[in-house]
Structure 1
Amino acid sequence: MRSLCFLLLLTLSFTSCKSSKKAKQKDSQVVINAKRALKNYDNNTAIVEDIEVSKAPISETKPAITKADAITSYALQFEGVRYKWGGTTSNGMDCSGLVFESFRANDIILPRISRDMAKQGDKIPLRKVQEGDLLFFKTANRRNNINHVGLIITTENDIQFIHATTRGGVIVSKLSEAYWNNAFVEARRIL
């Protein structure tokens, strides 16, 4: 009886193991139809007959979540939060606070001020931006410094970014909007 249990456990373990962590995740269900699995186990012998093993259809699953996905998802939960200078919570948020907290929640520490964030990572051309990259802006200010940052959430059809504005709070905007396009300075990749 022990050898039969061992044989069944061994068979099941081979049919359900994966070869590596990098292998695509696949949903598979192993159905075992064992007819007369134990026909005769007198004298500590077991006869296993008519075991059918079939696999249900395999469906593709989503790839593992990336760091950029995690950061943008975290930022998007603040959409609609009112603007508060120096804010970093759902009670109020400013642009650099939104980016700072979104990265910090994913174990990446950035400077707290947008002009200091603009010194981090690598400068990249707009044609190469991806989700999770940062956009920096100079809006009307006396010092002519970078004073605004946004986090790219998608590049499909148009670059969209989440940021906090004094009028709208935390919103999603498009870089193609005239105001943001004119104020744009550079894009940087932190990840």
Structure 2
Amino acid sequence: MKKLLLLSFFALFLISCGSTKNTGKVPEAIIGKNETKTVRKVNPHKNDKVSVRKNEEESEGTNNEESPKTIKKGIIDYAKTFQGTKYKFGGTTDAGMDCSGLVYTAFQKENITLPRISRDMATKGILISFKDIEEGDLVFFKTSRKNTITHVGLVVEAKRGEVKFIHSTTQAGVIISSLDEDYWKKAFVEVRRVI
């Protein structure tokens, strides 16, 4: 009986997506830093990787201040390139990622640093009423018996009362789901806006 209980606890731990991989102390979200950086772009139809060098010279003559809508679209579009990526606890690449790894990586692409763990992400930004939810907001869930946030998703569509979000699940990897699905509706906790 004791072994069965221990095995059940271990299985619940693996199912939870609240990655605890320590990546060091990270600052709160910083929007719009214009620094030289190397980013990885993934063609959603192929797994070819292309490194792109982005710096101030390339953006000369353009407005360096991106609108929040443009930043959110960039985050969502980049997150969608990972659709079909398998689940990997603590992962942040197309070789495998967990829920918080997906969100962390998508925001990092736009120079916005979030905490690496979903429960810590839920302390950033501002709390939003569900009726005010928008694309680019973060949705948080409690997917285990623990009384703590264990899962995060990125809202990719919020139209006519239906909310769709991209996230990484242990069973299907990176997918888009709806908050109308019973499981997610019951596990839903809150919405937060970082941008």
What displacement does 1:144 show?
Answer: 1.6
* 5+ long unaligned stretches in structure 2: 1-61
Report the structure number with the largest CA radius of gyration. 1
SS of the aligned residue for 1:159 comes to strand
CA offsets 1:46-92 (integer angstroms, 9 cap, x no match): xxxxxxxxxxxxxxxxx997111000000000000000000000000
From the superposition, tell whether residues 82 and 124 of structure 1 become closer, same or farther in structure 2 (CA, over 3 Å): same
| Amino acid paired to 2:137 | D
> Equivalents in 2 of 1:177, 1:65: separation in Å?
27
Are 2:102 and 1:98 aligned?
Answer: yes
Classify 1:109/1:181 alpha carbon distance in 2 versus 1 (closer, same or farther; 3 Å). Answer: same
Please list every run of 5 or more consecutive structure 1 residues that lacks an aligned counterpart in the other structure. 1-20, 23-62
Distance in 1 separating the partners of 2:159 and 2:125: 23
Aligned residue pair count: 130
In structure 2, distance between residues paired with 1:134 and 1:176: 16
Question: Does residue 1:149 correspond to 2:152, yes or no?
Answer: yes
- Per the alignment, residue 128 of structure 2 pairs with 124
Question: Which residue matches 1:42?
Answer: none
Q: Which residue of 2 aligns with 1:184?
A: 188
List structure 1 runs of 4+ shifted beyond 4 angstroms.
none
Structure 1 vs Structure 2 CA RMSD? 1.8
Structure 1 residue 107, shift from structure 2 partner: 0.5
* Pairwise CA distance, 1:156: 1.5
Q: Scaled by the length of structure 2, what TM-score is found? A: 0.64
